[in-house]
Amino acid sequence: MDAEVKRDGKGRGPTGASERSAVDPFLAMDVLAEATRLEGEGRSIVHMEVGQPGAPAPKAVLDAAREALAGPLGYTEALGRAPLRERIARHYAETYGVEVSPGNVIVTTGSSAGFMLAFLAGFDAGQRIALPSPGYPAYRNILKALDLIPVEIETTAETRWALTPEHLEQVSRDGPIAGVLVASPANPTGTMMEPDALEALIRKAEELGMWFISDEIYHGLVYEGRRAASALETSPDAIVVNSFSKYYCMTGWRVGWMIVPDRLVRPVERLAQNLYISVPDLSQRAALAAFDAREELEAVRAVYAQNRALLRSRLPELGFETILPADGAFYLYADITPFADDSVAFSRALLQEAGVAVTPGPDFDPVGGHRFVRFSLAGQHAAMVEGMERLAHHLGRS
Ligand SMILES: Cc1ncc(COP(=O)(O)O)c(C=O)c1O
């Protein structure tokens, strides 16, 4: 509402909010707030709306944090503590067979800060950045807040819900595109790009003079023997953004990282110094231990795999005919048109009447999202079983 007033040119003044702050709310968080309110009234709610692991941070991380609390905690280098940067660099050799210098690793306050730094370091106000739709809503909202222009490209089953070199050529005809951002596996779909499709997209982006930003936050969370390829396997010029939030179960610790080419290291360092000085020392010290918690984290992934199998068999039985390919992450993005044509109303009724919280699609796709909801399967298995029972009852299929 405030934003509307601003756009009309009225209401300007020292007490008004800026036009750049008029970004969309995140509906998933609104659903969470309503679900929490209902829980406060004593209702039982199955949470399938939020994209965060139900499991706590691994034991090794908690032990490292306890130990760190005994010593002084202070500011660190803006680019991050050296041992963590070195360990992250080693992760690239171990996981992808790619040599990354610790000097190109930058520790960030979650991948969210990584996007801000990448956008500020790589782009100037008014430049256009290509994004696939459906996609994670914060990309477009951060870009808008920074006076950058998101160019959202609707993807379809024909290209397996991925951007293609042809898409990039097509949107470039309307004016230069300064960068392209993709996530594989993606949110809300869980869909992964085939390795050769990813490689072709990176090569085309670079040929067209675009920064390629690769959100690799769901790496590690892939199923059925798949492997997520890093953009760095194709190009040392890619900007990679990643996080301890998802695979490593550390959402609340606000720690992530990015890998940037040499020419962006100092610009990002200057921005980080001024924007937030450094990432919390405690979280950095704890995150160092996360790489040694493989066994525990794989057990968490096994629960997601079990949840994914349950939903992938149960949802079609209940009448959901189209579910996007969920190769990784912990989501299923399902078409609700067999039941309704407005996913916001559908989600509201499901929450109010059945106590199941899901996220409506318009968060992820303002054009076609009214036909979809996102189920997060990151919770405990028993909760998923209960959620499917309630959904069946709600749809009159039990
Ligand atoms: C695709 C994607 N990227 C980035 C993020 C942000 O995560 P964080 O800032 O916790 O690293 C999320 C969170 O849901 C996400 O789904």
For residue range 254-286, what is the model confidence (pLDDT) as tens digits? 999 999 999 999 999 999 999 999 999 999 999
Same domain, 151 and 267: yes
DSSP conformation class of 95: H
Same domain, 338 and 355: yes
Same domain, 102 and 247: yes
- 153 CA from centroid of ligand 1 (Å): 20
- pLDDT confidence band for 298 (50 / 70 / 90): very high
pLDDT of residue 3: 44
- pLDDT confidence band for 4 (50 / 70 / 90): very low
Same domain, 119 and 248: yes
Positive or negative, the CA dihedral 7, 10, 11, 13 is: positive
Same domain, 130 and 263: yes
Query: What single letter denotes the amino acid at residue 159?
Result: T
Q: Tokens 């992250």 map to which residue?
A: 88
- pLDDT confidence band for 25 (50 / 70 / 90): confident
**Torsions phi, psi for 128 (to 5 deg):** -105, 135
Same domain, 234 and 303: no
- Residue 106 structural domain: 71-292
Give yes or no for residue 331 CB within 6 A of ligand 1: no
Measure the CA–CA gap between 374 and 361, rounded to whole angstroms: 7
Mutate which of 29, 108, 112, 377 for ligand 1? The one with the most ligand atoms within 8 Å of its CB, which is: 112
Positive or negative, the CA dihedral 355, 387, 243, 268 is: negative
Measure the CA–CA gap between 329 and 221, rounded to whole angstroms: 5
Mean pLDDT (whole number) for 230-248: 98
pLDDT of residue 15: 73
Give yes or no for residue 244 CB within 6 A of ligand 1: no
On whether residue 61 sits in a domain, the answer given is no
Q: What count of Cα atoms within 13 Å lies in the side-chain half-sphere of residue 298?
A: 5
- 111 CA from centroid of ligand 1 (Å): 6
Q: 346 in the Ramachandran plot: left (φ > 0), alpha (ψ -120 to 50) or beta?
A: alpha
**145-188: per-residue pLDDT in tens?**
999 999 999 999 999 999 999 999 999 999 999 999 999 999 99
Whether the per-residue pLDDT at 392 is higher than 60: the answer is yes
**Sequential DSSP letters for 158-186:** GGTT---HHHHHHHHTTS---EEEEESS-
On whether residue 268 sits in a domain, the answer given is yes
- 108 CA from centroid of ligand 1 (Å): 12
Cis peptide before 165 (omega within 30 of 0): no
Give yes or no for residue 136 CB within 6 A of ligand 1: yes
- pLDDT confidence band for 398 (50 / 70 / 90): confident
Give yes or no for residue 189 CB within 6 A of ligand 1: no
On whether residue 267 sits in a domain, the answer given is yes
Same domain, 98 and 27: no
Which of these three, 265, 292, 319, is where a domain ends? 292
Residues 158, 335, 154: CA angle, nearest 5 degrees: 40
pLDDT of residue 32: 85
- pLDDT confidence band for 31 (50 / 70 / 90): confident
Give yes or no for residue 315 CB within 6 A of ligand 1: no
Q: How many percent of the chain have pLDDT more than 70?
A: 96
> Of all helices (H) and strands (E), which one includes residue 88?
helix 82-96
Average pLDDT, the chain: 94
**307-364: per-residue pLDDT in tens?**
999 999 999 999 999 999 999 999 999 999 999 999 999 999 999 999 999 999 998 9
The enclosing domain of 288 has a CATH number of: 3.40.640.10
Same domain, 349 and 201: no
- 232 CA from centroid of ligand 1 (Å): 19
Mean pLDDT (whole number) for 285-311: 97
On whether residue 181 sits in a domain, the answer given is yes
Instruction: Return the closest-CA partner of residue 190 out of 364, 29, 39.
Output: 364
Which of these three, 242, 273, 292, is where a domain ends? 292
- 140 CA from centroid of ligand 1 (Å): 13
| Bridge partners (DSSP) listed for residue 101 | none
- pLDDT confidence band for 107 (50 / 70 / 90): very high
Which of these three, 292, 312, 345, is where a domain ends? 292
On whether residue 307 sits in a domain, the answer given is yes
Mean pLDDT (whole number) for 137-150: 96
**71-87: per-residue pLDDT in tens?**
999 999 999 999 999 99
Positive or negative, the CA dihedral 311, 336, 50, 107 is: positive
Whether the per-residue pLDDT at 13 is higher than 80: the answer is no
Mutate which of 31, 49, 213, 243 for ligand 1? The one with the most ligand atoms within 8 Å of its CB, which is: 243
Same domain, 237 and 158: yes
Same domain, 44 and 139: no
Residues in the chain: 398
Query: What single letter denotes the amino acid at residue 41?
Result: E
Domain count, the chain: 2
Q: Do 79 and 269 contact (CB within 8 A), yes or no?
A: yes
Query: What single letter denotes the amino acid at residue 168?
Result: L
On whether residue 192 sits in a domain, the answer given is yes
Residues near 382 by beta carbon (within 8 Å), at least 6 away in sequence: none
Whether the per-residue pLDDT at 377 is higher than 90: the answer is yes
On whether residue 365 sits in a domain, the answer given is yes
- pTM comes to 0.94
Q: Do 119 and 148 contact (CB within 8 A), yes or no?
A: yes
pLDDT of residue 11: 53
Same domain, 351 and 204: no
Measure the CA–CA gap between 385 and 375, rounded to whole angstroms: 13
On whether residue 66 sits in a domain, the answer given is no
pLDDT of residue 12: 57
Instruction: Return the closest-CA partner of residue 330 out of 387, 377, 271, 366.
Output: 377
Same domain, 147 and 271: yes
